[in-house]
Amino acid sequence: MPNLDALTQLPLAERLAAMESLWDSLCQDDAAELSPPWHAAVLEARLRELAEGQHRDWKSAKDALRKLTER
């Protein structure tokens, strides 16, 4: 594995190329390995709620989050 210090010393264009190569390699991996098992259950529940009309519009979701974080 390349040394991170060595990578940070590369010119910007080479660092970006290395980052793109790394990202491409991640996209080739099995998606099941990238997400923990509980993600699938949460996504299924959210899709079911959406199909049943149990969802919030973006404005009301933001308002609810703001209320939760107000001090």
Confidence (pTM) = 0.43
Question: What is the average per-residue pLDDT within 6-35?
Answer: 87
Identity of the amino acid at 13? A
Are 43 and 71 within one domain? yes
Q: What is the pLDDT of residue 1?
A: 63
Let me know whether 48 and 61 are in one domain. Answer: yes
Find where tokens 């001090």 sit: 71
- What amino acid occupies position 8? T
Domain count, the chain: 2
- How many CB atoms sit inside 10 A of residue 36's CB? 10
Which pLDDT score is estimated for 37?
86
The helix, strand and coil proportions of the chain, stated in percent and rounded to the nearest 5, come to: 75, 0, 25
Range of the domain at 15: 1-30
d(CA 27, CA 34): 10
